[in-house]
Amino acid sequence: AQTVTQSQPEMSVQEAETVTLSCTYDTSESNYYLFWYKQPPSRQMILVIRQEAYKQQNATENRFSVNFQKAAKSFSLKISDSQLGDTAMYFCAFMIGSGGSNYKLTFGKGTLLTVNP
């Protein structure tokens, strides 16, 4: 079974600064996908960024980037130039990419990020 661990229940950062959220996972699979989802107070789950395990290049989406270390099974999220609207719960998630039917998304427990003015 796959597990996803987020060791930081809560973090805070000052507006305009940079913050990194940690995520580790455990799997015996070689083909998989990793995601970061954001859940603001509105409750909506919003995809922040996606990484294919077979790609060595780290994914980036505007101010959001990841540091994917496959050997260490680590997948951290870096948020640059933090904005007040980034305040949310952030979930790391894992999906097997076998191409068959077993591609459910497994989530970590989340990190509550607060951006302070």
Partner 1 sequence: DAGVIQSPRHEVTEMGQEVTLRCKPISGHNSLFWYRQTMMRGLELLIYFNNNVPIDDSGMPEDRFSAKMPNASFSTLKIQPSEPRDSAVYFCASSPWTGEKLFFGSGTQLSVL
Which spans of this chain sit near partner 1 (rule: CB under 8 A)?
33, 35, 42-47, 50, 52, 91, 95, 97-110
- Min separation Cβ 19 and partner 1, Å: 21
**Three-class SS of residue 88?**
strand
Nearer to partner 1, 68 or 82 (CB): 68
Per DSSP, helices labelled H in the chain are none
Nearer to partner 1, 9 or 16 (CB): 9
- Min separation Cβ 43 and partner 1, Å: 5
Distances (CA, A) of 75 to 6, 37, 41, 101, 112: 10, 13, 24, 24, 17
- Min separation Cβ 97 and partner 1, Å: 5
**For residue 59, how many other CB atoms are within 10 A of its CB?**
19
